[in-house]
């Protein structure tokens, strides 16, 4: 919740062009002898610098540690670690592709479903809903974002999975069994449950940020569109155009959340390292294999392989976040124009 | 401060001419017994006047007297903020409520106080935004109309080499002329301007005023302004409003030289408001 709000604010400010690339800490206090600089400011600046470098240091140390500890596995398997499909602690053969696949497949599917839903809800909230309804729905959406993932996991195990097994999956299998998405026996616990849980988890993030970004588009824009003879829907399109960067950012944040989600997914995905496009089949993700096997991993190679997976997960998340920032920054910069 | 000599009045004021009607020209817009509300609050009280073709009418009056509300009733933007009105407003003798507001707003363009180009669109896209809403996709056609509108708005020479750049990269005055070009592009018949120059520097204001003078050759222009000299310079008729009522409506020359109402006189001479 806190974090979402922080990020929201950040996106806003970027969108509004408030955050400049390097905001100099302006000092309005009385200048004194130190070359026109204030002692307090100098001390303050250096303390901040120190904290900032600590952050950087932590990240660097983490990466070094991860690389260091995954060395045995990197040496043993090389690139095959990413390419192969076997994960067999008994034979001491490890490779990460099923997990990478599971992570990407579940996250992307979840995003594919969540994005249109979130956009629909946020358009409704910002453009169509009466104020009171908007307040209520927004509150519910924010509440959804605050639910701990273990709660979603439990809900998945005890409510969602049985329902999928007995009702939804058989029905889908009967009707659409010819699609690769819906083949195999209905387990309940599997990719389907994981995707649905992920949808519920990322929906509020994307919705609330997109809604805020759309609401931040000034009334003058709407009026400009109306006065040109735009219909309600055309006004929405123009607003979407203006909110594009924020929505892209929100989407990538949602994707980041889905990729990193551990607890709830572990509880419902079935934890079977295999590659299947069928939603009914169980799968595995990078985060869930780490959570599952860390406590029981005894051999050096097993531990090291798990750490290498965490390194890969770290890299994927960093890339996603960097991409989010670059896109948001790129879109805003393109249209920021002259001051 | 309100220099009457500026007016360059040639015709002698005849205060007996129907003070609610511009003579000789076709009445484009008629407002009849208009009462406008925000919820239960009445913002306009029993306003009747008409605006003639090829004239510029200035609406003046102290802040909060309902000038913007009157404009926004005419293009039905008043309804977008869930306002309501009673009475009849007609365009070419047709009640504006009988038609789709979307259609109406293509006939009655509006320029706002603060320039509001679409920030994510280029200059070109801004000018053609309304056309594209109308479903015109043909690129050469769009380009042609864009150039024509930009020329009409006296902006073409300044932007012809940077049409791909974002509209908000222009100066405030240029942005306002861009917004005017955007409005002209959909070829409206009436242009409403709500303090179009109040956010601009004197030079840009000058340009806008010149532009208004040109516009009246082809359009019906209604302009809200707080600037007395501006009203005197650009308008043929002036309506003075006070507390939601129309106090006096007459030829601009009459309003500024020989107002029949005491309040009008006080206002145009700067003694209140
Ligand atoms: N959205 C609104 N909701 C409720 N009341 C409003 C709204 N907009 C305007 N009003 C009220 O209607 C009255 C007329 O407002 P209007 O904006 O038409 O004045 P104006 O003459 O344009 O003033 P200004 O010169 O300051 O622009 C004012 O008393 C104002 O408080
Ligand atoms: Mg106003």
The 10s digit of each residue's pLDDT in A312-327 is 999 999 988 888 778 7
Q: Comparing C-alpha atoms, which of B112, B111, B115, B109 is closest to residue B175?
A: B115
Instruction: Give the DSSP H/E element, type plus range, for residue A151.
Output: helix A149-155
Domain boundaries, chain B: 19-268
Neighbours of A314 (CB within 10 A): 16
Band the pLDDT of B222: cuts 50, 70, 90. very high
* Best probe residue, ligand 1, of B44, B60, B62, B66 (max atoms within 8 Å of C-beta): B66
**Mean pLDDT of the region A106-123:** 95
* Interval between CA A225 and ligand 1 midpoint (Å): 21
Interface test with A, best of B104, B119, B158, B173 (most A CBs within 10 A): B119
Give the pairing of strands B245-251 and B237-242.
antiparallel
Mutate which: B116, B126, B145, B178, vs A, most A CBs within 10 A: B116
If one compares B246 and B273, the residue with the highest pLDDT of the two is B246
What confidence score (pLDDT) does residue A21 get? 38
Name the CATH topology of A52-338: MetI-like fold (1.10.3720)
Chain B environment of A220 (Cβ under 8 Å): 112, 114, 116
- Give the length of chain A: 339
DSSP string, B180-194: HHHHHHT--SEEEEE
Region for B145 from its dihedrals, namely left if φ exceeds 0, alpha if ψ lies in -120 to 50, beta otherwise: alpha
Cβ pair A229:B134 closer than 8 A: yes
Going from N- to C-terminal start, the domains of chain A cover: 52-338
For A75-90, write each residue's pLDDT tens digit.
Answer: 999 999 998 898 998 8
Give A231's contacts in chain B (Cβ within 8 Å). Answer: 102, 133
Rounded to two decimals, the pTM is 0.77
Question: Inter-chain contact B186–A221, Cβ cutoff 8 Å?
Answer: no
- A227/B133 Cβ within 8 A: no
Q: What is the pLDDT of residue A242?
A: 85
Query: Do the Cβ atoms of A230 and B110 come within 8 Å?
Result: no
Q: What does the pLDDT read at residue B136?
A: 85
pLDDT at B134: 82
Per-residue pLDDT tens over the stretch A133-175: 999 999 999 999 899 999 999 999 999 999 999 999 999 988 9
CA B168 → CA A101, A328, B108, B165, distances in Å?
44, 18, 24, 9
Q: Can you spell out the DSSP letters for B23-56?
A: SSS-EEEEEEEEEEEETTEEEEEEEEEEEETT-E
Residue A211: exposure state from Cβ atoms within 10 A (0-12, 13-18, ≥19): buried
Q: Is the pLDDT of residue B214 over 50?
A: yes
Q: Are strands B56-60 and B220-224 parallel, antiparallel or unpaired?
A: parallel
In ligand 1, the atom with minimum distance to the C-alpha of B71 is 18
Name the CATH superfamily, with its identifier, for domain B19-268: P-loop containing nucleotide triphosphate hydrolases (3.40.50.300)
pLDDT at A124: 94
Residue whose CA lies nearest to ligand 1 atom number 16: B66
Contact at CB, B120 and A244, closer than 8 angstroms: yes
Whole-number percent of chain B with pLDDT over 90: 60
pLDDT of residue A36: 63
> According to the model, what pLDDT value does residue A79 have?
92
* A128 interfacial to chain B (CB closer than 8 Å): no
Helices (H), A84-130: 97-123
Q: Residue B131: its chain A contacts at CB < 8 A?
A: none
B56: left (phi over 0), alpha (psi -120 to 50) or beta: beta
What per-residue confidence (pLDDT) applies to B270? 81
pLDDT per residue as tens digits for the range B36-87: 999 999 999 999 999 999 999 999 999 999 999 999 999 999 988 888 999 9
Q: Which residues surround ligand 2, an ion (CB under 5 A)?
A: B 68
Give me ligand 2 centre to Cα B155, in Å. 26
A129 and chain B in contact, CB less than 8 A? no
Banded model confidence at residue A25, pLDDT cuts 50, 70, 90:
very low
Q: Please state, rounded to an integer, the average pLDDT across all residues of chain B.
A: 87
pLDDT-derived band of residue A308, with 50, 70 and 90 as boundaries?
very high
Contact between chains at B121 and A227 (C-beta distance less than 8 A): no
């Amino acid at each position: 919740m806190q974090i979402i709000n922080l990020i929201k604010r950040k996106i806003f400010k970027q969108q509004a062009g408030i955050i400049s690339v390097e905001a100099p800490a302006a000092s309005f206090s009385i200048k004194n002898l130190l070359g026109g600089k204030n002692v307090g400011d100098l001390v303050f600046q250096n303390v901040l610098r120190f904290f900032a470098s600590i952050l950087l240091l932590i990240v660097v140390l983490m990466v070094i540690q991860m690389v260091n500890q995954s060395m045995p596995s990197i040496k043993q398997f090389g690139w095959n670690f990413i390419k192969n499909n076997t994960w067999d602690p008994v034979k001491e053969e490890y490779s990460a592709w099923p997990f990478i696949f599971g992570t990407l497949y579940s996250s992307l599917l979840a995003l594919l479903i969540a994005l249109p839903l979130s956009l629909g809800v946020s358009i409704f909230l910002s453009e169509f809903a009466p104020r009171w309804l908007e307040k209520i729905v927004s509150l519910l959406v924010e509440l959804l974002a605050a639910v701990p993932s273990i709660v979603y996991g439990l809900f998945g195990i005890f409510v969602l999975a049985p329902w999928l097994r007995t009702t939804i999956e058989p029905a889908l299998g009967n009707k659409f069994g010819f699609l690769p998405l819906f083949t195999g026996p209905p387990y309940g616990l599997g990719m389907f449950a994981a995707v649905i849980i992920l949808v519920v988890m990322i929906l509020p993030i994307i919705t609330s940020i997109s809604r805020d970004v759309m609401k931040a588009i000034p009334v003058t824009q709407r009026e400009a569109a109306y006065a040109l003879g735009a219909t309600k829907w055309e006004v929405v399109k123009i607003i979407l155009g203006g909110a594009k960067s924020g929505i892209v950012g929100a989407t990538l944040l949602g994707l980041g959340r889905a990729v990193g989600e551990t607890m709830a997914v572990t509880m419902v995905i079935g934890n079977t390292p295999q590659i299947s496009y069928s939603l009914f089949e169980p799968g595995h993700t990078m985060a869930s294999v780490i959570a599952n096997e860390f406590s029981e991993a005894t051999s050096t190679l097993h531990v090291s392989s798990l750490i290498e997976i965490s390194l890969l997960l770290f890299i994927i998340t960093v890339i996603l976040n960097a991409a989010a920032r670059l896109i948001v920054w790129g879109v805003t910069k393109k249209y920021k124009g002259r001051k | 401060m309100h220099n009457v000599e500026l007016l360059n009045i040639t015709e002698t004021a005849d205060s007996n001419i129907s003070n609610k009607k511009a003579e000789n020209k076709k009445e484009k817009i008629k407002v009849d017994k208009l009462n406008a509300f925000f919820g239960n609050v009445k913002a306009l009280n029993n306003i009747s006047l008409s605006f003639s073709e090829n004239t510029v009418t200035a609406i003046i009056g102290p802040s909060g007297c309902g000038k913007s509300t009157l404009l926004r009733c005419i293009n039905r933007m008043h309804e977008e903020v869930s306002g309501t009105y009673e009475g009849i407003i007609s365009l070419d003798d047709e009640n504006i409520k009988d038609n789709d507001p979307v259609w109406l707003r293509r006939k009655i363009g509006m320029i706002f106080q603060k320039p509001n180009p679409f920030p994510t669109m280029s200059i070109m896209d801004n000018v053609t935004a309304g056309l594209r809403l109308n479903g015109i996709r043909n690129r050469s056609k769009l380009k042609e109309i864009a150039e024509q509108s930009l020329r009409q708005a006296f902006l073409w020479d300044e932007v012809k080499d940077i049409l791909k750049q974002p509209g908000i990269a222009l100066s405030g005055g240029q942005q306002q002329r861009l917004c005017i070009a955007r409005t002209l592009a959909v070829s409206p018949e009436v242009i409403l301007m709500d303090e179009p120059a109040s956010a601009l520097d004197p030079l840009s204001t000058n340009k806008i005023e010149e532009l208004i003078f040109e516009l009246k050759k082809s359009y019906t222009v209604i302009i809200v302004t707080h600037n007395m000299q501006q009203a005197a310079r650009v308008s043929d008729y002036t309506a003075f409003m006070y507390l939601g009522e129309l106090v006096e409506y007459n030829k601009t020359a009459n309003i500024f030289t020989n107002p029949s109402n005491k309040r009008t006189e006080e206002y145009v001479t700067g003694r209140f408001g």
